[in-house]
Amino acid sequence: MKIDVLVAEIGSTTTVVNAFNGIHTPDPVFLGQGQAPTSVLEGDVRIGLNNAIEELSKYLKTETVIYDEMLATSSAAGGLKMTVHGLVHDMTVRAAREAALGAGAIIHKVTAGKLRQTDLNAIQEINPNIILIAGGVDYGEKETAIENAEKLASLNLKIPFIYAGNIENQEEIKLIFDKTKSRLYVVENVYPKIDQLNIEPTRRIIQDVFEAHIIHAPGMEHVRELVNGPIIPTPGAVMEASKLMKEQMGDLLAFDVGGATTDLHSVTEGSEEINRILISPEPVAKRTVEGDLGVFVNLKNIVALIGEENLQKEIEEKMQMNLFELMETHQAIPATPQQIAFAERLTQEAVKTALQRHVGQIKHLYGPGGKTTIAEGKDLSNVQYIIGTGGALTRLPHGYQILRSILAKHEQNKLLPTEDAVVLLDHDYIMASLGVLSRKYPASAYQLMKKSMRWKGGAFHEPKN
């Protein structure tokens, strides 16, 4: 069978391939999906990819699958591990961190100011894929970034470095890395002026660097023999899809609840009223990663957030079961009605907690001149759509109700979405694949998103599951 585009999602445990036809027409089609265990640990990612393609051929009832293009997202080999180093934590460090997260990175260490020996030791132990150096507004402080670059260059890590700091330092930084075997990428300052974020150039270069160097990760060396299109980090692909949808639909919030983490992507400028009183700028596209809120790997963390006694009472009332028994029998893909109900309760808590950590708030300060009202953090009050993707929200029966429940109550002073927001689900579970597809075929990617989210009669319709 001839297929226009295959998109592979190479995860740490599972490799999925999604097949699409009609990419060059106004009516592209999602054909189906195949999956297999990821084979990075076996030393060759092609094994898992080929097995997933074989599963796809069985689903499509065809002996062979021939494709024109294969694109990919990857979180295998530990994903995109980064460390970020800037000058002031609430300024350049924060801007650099937002850029890295928006690109789909997993940030293992963040430092502010001059690096100490303990920091350098930790960086060597982390062994990141990319290191991002920032620091100083343009034509401002110079010494910290230069000293940090010298210390990092001395580690001889032989990995890519990105410099996104004070423009005056660019030539000096180049000279420092000219003496090493590391590749240096120089990009615009992430924080060029006080209260001005400029994270998009850095976010784009991080994804480009990831694509150029991912083939050097263990087990990934031969990935280019199958994948002939872009490869970007899986979380970054979800962000790409979210940004495309924002351009077409309006401001949105996308929850990606998985077994190990819960990622939250918001793409919104916020309201003019709140922007006037924000104490520090926020990026239009913001991603937060809650590494303690995975509904399988981090089961115990979520149970602790709910409270064991409270959860035991809920379970006894609804399921007539013991909490310990449910925890012991919990599976990545729940099978029994009790396991499904338990997974949904965990997902509900993960969604609620991730939103609370992501959203901004209004504060009232009192001083000699009286009361002053300020805002800090991300303003979500203009969000028009709330989207659910990831296995938990798209495959459990009540994903829609879980997302709708976060709009039921409004907390005073929190900059939350209103009840008018429309809740949608990525029914085909292809949002990450469409994110990488959008790099080359944005119009087709959006049409496929509309179908996955049940666009009918010129409008999106909320599911009633």
What pLDDT score does 212 carry? 85
Structure token digits, residue 425:
């689900």
3-state helix, strand, coil in the chain (%, to 5): 40, 25, 35
Q: What is the pLDDT of residues 398-433, one digit of tens each?
A: 999 999 999 877 788 999 999 999 999 999 999 999
Instruction: Enter the tokens of residue 442.
Output: 């944005």
Kindly report, residue by residue over 289-310, the tens digit of the pLDDT: 998 998 988 899 999 999 999 9
Residues 6+ away with beta carbon under 8 Å from 137: 91, 92, 166, 189, 191, 192, 193, 194
DSSP-derived pairing of the beta strands 81-86 and 106-112: parallel
Q: Using an 8 Å Cβ cutoff, are 241 and 435 in contact?
A: yes
Give all domains of the chain, ordered by start, each with its CATH number: 2-77+218-229 (3.30.420.40), 81-216 (3.40.50.2300), 233-460 (3.30.420)
Question: Whole-angstrom Cα distance, residue 72 to residue 211?
Answer: 10
Q: What residues pair up with 433 in beta bridges, in sequence order?
A: none
From the list 295, 410, 301, 299, the residue with the least C-alpha distance to 347 is 295
The residue that leads in pLDDT, 460 or 177, is 177
pLDDT beyond 90 at 178: yes
DSSP state of 90: I
First to last CA, the chain: 34
- Say if CB 421 and CB 380 are below 8 A apart: no
Residue 356 has a pLDDT of 95
Question: DSSP string covering 390-419, please?
Answer: SHHHHHSTTHHHHHHHTTS---TTB-PPPT
Confidence bin at 211 (pLDDT 50/70/90) = confident
Residue at 380: amino acid letter: L
Whether pLDDT at 339 is above 80: yes
Q: pLDDT-derived band of residue 219, with 50, 70 and 90 as boundaries? A: confident
Six-digit token pair at 298?
């981090």
Q: How confident is the model at residue 179, as a pLDDT?
A: 86
Residue with tokens 């599972």: 14
The pLDDT of 435-447, averaged and rounded, is 96
pLDDT confidence band for 207 (50 / 70 / 90): very high
Per DSSP, helices labelled H in 154-233 are: 170-178, 200-213
> Is the per-residue pLDDT at 353 higher than 80?
yes
Residue 465 has pLDDT above 80, yes or no: no
Q: What is the mean pLDDT of residues 435-448?
A: 96
Q: For the chain, what percent of residues have pLDDT higher than 70?
A: 99
Longest dimension (CA), the chain: 78
pLDDT the model gives residue 458: 78
What's the confidence (pLDDT) of residue 78?
67
